Structure 1
Amino acid sequence: MENNKNKHIKIMDIDPYLKPYESDINLRMDTYASSKKKLLGDKQSFKSFANGGLYYGFHLMKDGWIYREWAPNADALYLIGDFNCWDAHTHPLQKKENGNWEIFLKGTQALKHMSFVKVRVVAKGKSKDRIPLYIKRTVQDPITHDFAGQIWQPDHDFIWQDSEFHIKSKEALFIYEAHVGMAHEKEGVGTFKEFTENMLPRIKAEGYNTIQLMAIMQHPYYASFGYQVSNFFAVSSWFGTPDDLKKLINAAHLMGISVLLDLVHSHSIKNIAEGINEFDGTDYQFFHTGNKGDHPAWGTKLFNYGKPEVIHFLLSNIKFWLEEYHFDGYRFDGVSSMLYHHQGLGVAFTDYSKYFSMETDIEAITYLQFANDLIREVNPTAVTIAEDMSGMPGMCIPVNFGGLGFDYRLSMGVPDLWVKILKELPDEKWSMNQLWYELTSRRPMEKNIGYSESHDQALVGDKTLMFRLAGKEMYSHMLKSDDNLIINRAMELDKLIKFFTITLGGEGYLNFMGNEFGHPEWIDFPREGNNWSYKYARRQWSLMENKDLKYEYLSNFDREMIKLIKHYNVLSSSDLQNLWIDEKLKLIAFRKGNLVFLFNFNPSCSFPRYELPTSEEGDYKVVFNSDEVMFGGQKRIDTNYIYHSNVLQEKIGANGIIINTPSRTVLVLKKIDNNIH
């Protein structure tokens, strides 16, 4: 790629506020170009470069097995396992160039499917038994609790049936964020098989078209939620086998559901016995050396993104999950931690100078650009989402425009806003202008995934949205026959918050499993502090399925809300128009996707004859409203009535309709064809 000096970069036109930092953007792109050339040369592609998974690790050949490892500072490596009675003397690896080691085992039966293996690494006079870096499966011994690598080579290759499946580029994402282990009601760890049988039909019926799977990469500590990865090429054995995961994804694709992997390349577990830390005897094989390689808050190791071998390892990992398991893209975890040497800790990103300082990690930015380039080469329809709380400009701008190349960023400020408001302000003091501003303000030409809560808001120390609103009343007043003011308020606001968020918060939408029906309580994984209990590490589907409980109302609302938003392509619509904001009465009206939305956030006042501006003349009909009986409402809206627009008297010059807007409701109207009636 040519040097970017004196070359105009398009991101400068997209975001004029970047003008003072043009030299920084040029530095970013020059680093990208020079690093790419150093890595690939003039002809190689990222797709052909990122083949570590095809070279390293265990590979069955016609006449035997080849095993390769990268350990540049090791003095000796020995393959051990149940195949040689764990004898370290019988199978030494030979050192090759560039820090590589290999051994050939003659005969296709030298290693067998599901046999256990480790590699003894000798470095600096010490020997340690380690799990191979590219192993596809690790298993924990139930007695010793030690982990070992396991050969995964079934007699027959998995038969995929999803060749026709791909994400439709124009289809908005409705993401169901899920954790396989807790996606069930029993107090224990769920499996891939159970998820395939029980959860996929549920997700399909609820209208979600994308699943974001958490904790798929191997992690020894279940309570880490999958965010302390030990083995980057291994499927988590907590939930089943590699083939079980393939069956899950294949089944999802046959249902028309795409599957994203929650990818953790922001850090790695520090454990030596299970992970990749100090594999060759040094602390700098994969990570920064010394304190720079330690995350001060997470107690984990930080990758050195400036090292070509590390880039090769991580990019190979990305390609592996796309090709081996047919994932449709990634949600990149902890991007803010990657982007800054301070990991984003204790920093308020109040102005653009915070993004272009000595604390910005240019090498990490380059790696993320490479990652997005590679993903497009492997699967042009794949989706990438960045979890970045800092708001780095250009995150979702194409790399060749000067951006980082992601498709979406998570609207992380939206759930934080709802939590802050609910904690600090009573309903009557909510600012309608603030809600409008916070939900509609975005980086220019960058797409967002909107959400009111994810797994983050449900963890111990926090609360799900519904539980925050209702509190202990959920334990005793969720019967449909129980008319409780606290529960009524909680349900009305839960519906309003979710509907406001899905319509305004982004070009995609995310929900964490169970929250669609207002799951009570919190998430707490088994740990010493709770006597290793699974009570809060599960989802109580029976609450939603119990026809006597109000959870069904919230589930109905979520399903019908998504159906409406999908039918009218609201998330893909770029015609958002603010029709009216009434700070005093707590009303907001806007037009989007050929629909008119009217939110009444007033906690006590209904307005039987409210003047609703519509911006267009014509006849209107209510096509959705949160006051339906099936949503737990009072059915105060006549859905058959036709509203005729006229010049409004109180809103001088505006054209609109007169309509009843009950307190704490949302109404959606559509202009209708006069020939229909």
Structure 2
Amino acid sequence: MGEKMHFSELDQYLFGQGTHYDIYKKLGAHPTTQGRKKGVYFAVWAPNAQSVSVVGDFNSWDTEANPMVKAGPIGVFEVFVPGAKIGDLYKFFIVGMHGEELYKADPYGNEAELRPGTASKVADIGDYKWKDSTWMKKRVEFDENTDAMSIYEVHPGSWRKHAVENEDENGFYNYREFAHELAKYVKDMGYTHVELMGIAEHPFDGSWGYQVTGYYAPTSRYGSAQDFKYLVDYLHRNKIGVILDWVPGHFPKDAHGLANFDGTAVYEHQDPRQGEHPDWGTKIYNYGRPEVKNFLIANALFWVEECHVDGLRVDAVASMLYLDYGKQDGQWVANKYGDNKNLEAIEFFKHLNTVVLGRNHGTVMIAEESTAWPKVTGKAEDDGLGFSLKWNMGWMNDFLEYMKTDPYFRKFNHNKMTFSMTYAYSEKYILVISHDEVVHLKCSMLNKMPGYPDDKFKNLKAAYAFMFFHPGKKLLFMGQEFGQLREWSEERELDWYLLGEENHKDLQSFVKTLLHMYKKYPALYKADNDPEGFEWINADDGDRSIFSFVRKSPTKRNNLLFVVNYTPVERSDYRVGVPKKKQYKLIMDENGLLEKPQTFKAESKECDNREFSFAYPLAPYGVAVFTY
């Protein structure tokens, strides 16, 4: 006999406190048996609704067929519908506080109808048979402070596409096909993680998934919720971590979405000065409301615990932290101390990160935070926000400004490349070149580079080399590894045909070398957050636009000396100062790994303010990596 599902007093108490961490197992649509009848249990939170009923394929969308009953004072409505089944489309028909008639998709639904449809779809996400136990056991030991992490940022719908016969088809890869193609590529290249954009259900392709209507539903563009689990599972079995973009900062106003859910502001602030982003045309969550906070925190746990995801990259953190973000005077309301900090959002982040990371050791919470807010990766108990890592937007801006500059003028911008080391240990950083840098007329990475085509490739190799040897985890957006020429567009696949050309193939091979080298040498990741792990040899060679530094391994073995020349001028008699009178083995240059590494012996000759040095020829746009 099936036990009757019910939103109990305990459920109501925890939800009202904002601590019902598996609320998604109660709210939403759940296939079950009651008595001897198979059907679906539906539950929805609509605190100010006059009445709610569920409509769908199972009752011919009749608003009177399945009225829902209020379970206690908190405003949750529930009903069991015999005969409703997996695959049925449904919505909640809500009569709002002022008599509005609203048809809403399920905020906790696990699948959605393919756009432009807006209904939710009954799904059973519980019965997937995971095969990634080896990964999950090992994950517990992962430590982002001392482990390698190189992330390939991917938008599944435009990474690769099938050729299509007619315009109605999208050519999307299904999650399962995508899993196999992506795993093969990422493994070969040597990335440790993928970061997937636009997985939660969203109505508009052009939002890239940053305007979410289905927080608990992997988008149906690429298949079912089960298919999505297969993708994560398969990547794990290939030793690849999975990070998702996650958007708790705002949500769109679509009629079937969260906005004005029961005719009143349920998820958002009522006052538009607190509840709307004027620039984005979206709603802002009310982080002070326990049930809203619960919706979001349980959602993070849903992806991590139910879907085995290894981390979340939290979008637009700054927009949540500052009450006046993107607003003019008169468009925002100060906090109780009269300033612009969103105290409720700060509290939300501390709660979120403590719970997610506390319950799931070895996972990461990553902040995309674009200001100098202190202690983003500091512990919550020390008044930090509790994130594991933070995108280094300052480094990215300075780095790209420098690389775009004509080599002749780089000498006047030398500090753009050295400045990041003055704050490198204030947070735990990821160096990022994300999708944001290659859209909206910002040019692809290759086309940001100065000079003729040949120079562009040389510049870009020298740029990537610097990125991989600089302290911090790494993230590179898809297509930039082989020199995509056009800006990225979600509407078409990457220009893979470019790999038929020698210089694109060569660039891809160079990035692959960097990725494998990064994993091979602990000097490049073990001491990212330890000032002992990095030392400038010469940070002041602006006139020649040459940078030299060492990355030190905690074991003292296989330390690396890195030199890069950012002008097209050859330095045939270049001399570099070194920390010790040892032998230095040249293992890599601007062409990649050397088949026969060359050995250079340090002499007692002063250079770069050091008593030992050696000379060797440094090529135009030359890169040199030595082990010692």
**Structure 1 length as normaliser, TM-score?**
0.81
Partner residue in 2 for 1:267: 250
Contact 2:112–2:220 (8 Å) recurs in 1: yes
CA distance in 2, matches of 1:623, 1:543: 28
CA distance in 1, matches of 2:120, 2:283: 21
- Say whether 1:599 aligns with 2:564: yes
- Say whether 1:551 aligns with 2:504: yes
- Say whether 1:195 aligns with 2:178: yes
Q: 1:649 to 1:380 in 2, by over 3 A?
A: closer
Partner residue in 2 for 1:177: 153
Partner residue in 1 for 2:129: 159
Q: 1:212 to 1:445 in 2, by over 3 A?
A: same
CA distance in 1, matches of 2:49, 2:438: 44
- Say whether 1:457 aligns with 2:457: no
Partner residue in 2 for 1:350: none
Contact 2:376–2:384 (8 Å) recurs in 1: yes
- Say whether 1:441 aligns with 2:422: yes
Deviation at 1:276, TM superposition (A): 0.9
Partner residue in 2 for 1:65: 40
Partner residue in 1 for 2:54: 79
**Structure 2 length as normaliser, TM-score?**
0.87
Q: 1:403 to 1:103 in 2, by over 3 A?
A: closer
Deviation at 1:323, TM superposition (A): 1.8
Structure 1 residues 374-417: Cα deviation after superposition (integer angstroms, max 9, x where no partner):
11233111111100001211000111222111111001123322
- Say whether 1:104 aligns with 2:59: no
Partner residue in 2 for 1:579: 537
* Paired positions, count: 580
CA distance in 2, matches of 1:412, 1:346: 24
CA distance in 1, matches of 2:505, 2:55: 55
- Say whether 1:149 aligns with 2:120: yes
Deviation at 1:462, TM superposition (A): 1.5
Q: Which of 567, 572, 576 is the equivalent residue of 1:612? A: 576
Q: What amino acid is aligned across from residue 595 of structure 1 in structure 2?
A: L
Q: Which of 618, 627, 630 is the equivalent residue of 2:591? A: 627
Contact 1:183–1:195 (8 Å) recurs in 2: no
Partner residue in 1 for 2:350: 369
SS of equivalent to 1:607: coil
Contact 2:278–2:327 (8 Å) recurs in 1: no
SS of equivalent to 2:377: coil
Deviation at 1:639, TM superposition (A): 4.6
CA distance in 2, matches of 1:405, 1:385: 10
Partner residue in 1 for 2:99: 125
Contact 2:193–2:242 (8 Å) recurs in 1: yes
Mark the runs of 5 or more structure 1 residues left unpaired by the alignment.
Answer: 1-38, 348-355, 471-484, 526-533, 631-636, 672-677
Q: Which of 548, 552, 555 is the equivalent residue of 1:589? A: 548
SS of equivalent to 1:500: helix
Q: 1:653 to 1:511 in 2, by over 3 A?
A: closer
Q: What amino acid is aligned across from residue 510 of structure 1 in structure 2?
A: L
Amino-acid identity (%): 26
Q: What amino acid is aligned across from residue 454 of structure 2 in structure 1?
A: N
SS of equivalent to 1:390: coil
Deviation at 1:147, TM superposition (A): 1.3
CA distance in 2, matches of 1:267, 1:56: 21
Deviation at 1:78, TM superposition (A): 0.8
SS of equivalent to 2:133: coil
Partner residue in 2 for 1:90: 65
Deviation at 1:235, TM superposition (A): 1.1
- Say whether 1:520 aligns with 2:485: yes
Contact 2:66–2:79 (8 Å) recurs in 1: no
SS of equivalent to 1:164: helix
Structure 1 residues 451-508: Cα deviation after superposition (integer angstroms, max 9, x where no partner):
3x210011132111102226xxxxxxxxxxxxxx71221011101111112221x421
Q: What amino acid is aligned across from residue 625 of structure 1 in structure 2?
A: D
Q: What amino acid is aligned across from residue 127 of structure 2 in structure 1?
A: D
Contact 1:231–1:276 (8 Å) recurs in 2: no
RMSD: 2.5
Partner residue in 2 for 1:8: none
Q: What amino acid is aligned across from residue 90 of structure 1 in structure 2?
A: A
Deviation at 1:100, TM superposition (A): 2.9
Mark the runs of 5 or more structure 2 residues left unpaired by the alignment.
Answer: 1-10, 164-169, 330-336, 553-558
SS of equivalent to 2:235: helix
Deviation at 1:61, TM superposition (A): 3.0
Partner residue in 1 for 2:472: 507
Q: What amino acid is aligned across from residue 415 of structure 1 in structure 2?
A: M
SS of equivalent to 1:641: strand
Contact 1:329–1:382 (8 Å) recurs in 2: yes
CA distance in 2, matches of 1:387, 1:427: 33
Deviation at 1:338, TM superposition (A): 0.4
Contact 1:56–1:134 (8 Å) recurs in 2: yes
Q: Which of 329, 335, 340 is the equivalent residue of 2:311? A: 329
Deviation at 1:428, TM superposition (A): 3.9
Deviation at 1:422, TM superposition (A): 4.7
Matches of residues 212-291 of structure 1 in structure 2 within 5 Å? 212-273=195-256, 275-291=257-273
Contact 1:503–1:571 (8 Å) recurs in 2: no
Q: Which of 596, 604, 620 is the equivalent residue of 1:647? A: 604
Q: What amino acid is aligned across from residue 490 of structure 1 in structure 2?
A: K
Q: What amino acid is aligned across from residue 165 of structure 1 in structure 2?
A: W
Partner residue in 2 for 1:540: 495
Q: Which of 273, 278, 282 is the equivalent residue of 1:300? A: 282
Q: 1:288 to 1:463 in 2, by over 3 A?
A: farther
Q: 1:311 to 1:423 in 2, by over 3 A?
A: same
Deviation at 1:104, TM superposition (A): 3.5
Deviation at 1:135, TM superposition (A): 0.8
Structure 1 residues 279-325: Cα deviation after superposition (integer angstroms, max 9, x where no partner):
11113443343232110111110011111111111111111111221
CA distance in 2, matches of 1:463, 1:326: 35
Contact 1:68–1:100 (8 Å) recurs in 2: no
Contact 1:428–1:603 (8 Å) recurs in 2: no
Q: Which of 418, 432, 437 is the equivalent residue of 2:399? A: 418
Q: 1:423 to 1:619 in 2, by over 3 A?
A: closer
Structure 1 residues 328-386: Cα deviation after superposition (integer angstroms, max 9, x where no partner):
11000000100001125699xxxxxxxx9711111111101111011123311111110
